[in-house]
């Protein structure tokens, strides 16, 4: 069929393997180019060329998207965790810096009179930023735990051959997925931005590592289905389903 309904899914090995398990000739798949990205440069994104390469069909013909989404939904939860991880890492860096760096006096009066200035953490706006980061990191972690619990219960239902419980937790996890992926990646970038702000001018300097969180986290809003797609999935499918 035309369009996405005609897509099939294949695994294409780098080397061809014999029936006896021996490695044989190299498959006809080659790296055409490496993409130059804004962030996550430790994970190379490449253009692959499949010139008469040998591929092995996964699942049924023309049901490639259905098979792909088996791991795509898992990856969406992984990207949600990435958003929380960036929020937590940025918060830890900003908190330590705010305790150590001194600048001016707090508007409510001297907090560290023995020093020539108060630590950043005594300034109201810095405290606001740190508490926002903390709320995002800890609240996001709680949301991830709730989804992980649903996944564990779904897995246990499979072991116990309890189809009704399996369907219940599968639906619950499916409902969580677009919310977690969309919301936690948006908030992860927000927290990373805030962390850079706490550092002031130093936040924009690469050696402190704060600006890397912003660059690396930005892709999470796009990966595994852009966040607008997550909203469409939530409203158009998940809410309408049950």
**What span, in angstroms and rounded, lies between the C-alpha atoms of 27 and 15?**
5
Which has the closest alpha carbon to 134: 89, 177, 72, 81? 89
Q: Are strands 46-50 and 15-17 parallel, antiparallel or unpaired?
A: unpaired
What does each C-alpha distance from 48 to 4, 28, 34, 72, 223 come to in angstroms? 20, 10, 9, 20, 19
The DSSP H or E segment spanning 34 is strand 29-34
Mean pLDDT, residues 192-210 taken together: 96
Is 112 a catalytic site residue?
Answer: no
Annotated active-site residue in 88, 172, 211, 224: 224
Tens digits of per-residue pLDDT, 13-28?
A: 999 998 898 989 999 9
The pLDDT of residue 148: 96
Tens digits of per-residue pLDDT, 23-45?
A: 899 999 999 999 999 999 888 89
The pLDDT of residue 241: 82
Q: Is the pLDDT of residue 66 over 90?
A: no
The pLDDT of residue 54: 96
- Name the average pLDDT for the chain: 94
Please tell me whether the overall predicted TM-score, pTM, comes out greater than 0.85 for this model. yes
Mean pLDDT, residues 69-88 taken together: 93
Which has the closest alpha carbon to 140: 181, 193, 197? 181
How many other C-beta atoms lie within 10 A of the C-beta of residue 22?
9
The pLDDT of residue 69: 83
80 touches 144 (CB < 8 A): yes
């Amino acid at each position: 069929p035309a369009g996405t309904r005609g897509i099939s899914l294949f695994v294409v090995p780098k080397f061809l393997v014999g029936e006896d398990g021996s490695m044989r000739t190299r498959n006809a798949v080659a790296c055409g180019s490496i993409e130059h990205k804004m962030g996550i440069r430790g994970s190379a994104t490449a253009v692959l060329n499949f010139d008469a390469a040998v591929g092995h069909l996964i699942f049924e013909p023309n049901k490639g998207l259905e098979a792909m989404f088996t791991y795509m939904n898992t990856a969406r939860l992984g990207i949600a965790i990435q958003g929380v991880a960036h929020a937590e890492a940025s918060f830890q860096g900003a908190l330590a810096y705010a305790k150590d760096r001194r600048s001016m006096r707090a508007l409510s009066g001297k907090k560290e009179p023995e020093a020539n200035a108060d630590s950043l953490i005594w300034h109201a706006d810095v405290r606001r930023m740190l508490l926002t980061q903390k709320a995002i990191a800890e609240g996001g972690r709680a949301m991830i735990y709730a989804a992980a619990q649903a996944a564990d219960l779904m897995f246990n239902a499979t072991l116990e051959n309890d189809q009704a419980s399996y369907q219940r937790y599968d639906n619950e996890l499916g409902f969580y997925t677009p919310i977690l992926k969309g919301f936690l990646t948006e908030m992860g970038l927000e927290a990373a931005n805030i962390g850079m702000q706490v550092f002031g001018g130093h936040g924009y300097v690469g050696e402190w590592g704060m600006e890397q969180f912003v660059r690396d986290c930005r892709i999470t809003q796009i990966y595994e289905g852009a966040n607008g797609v997550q909203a469409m999935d939530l409203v158009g499918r998940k809410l309408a389903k049950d």
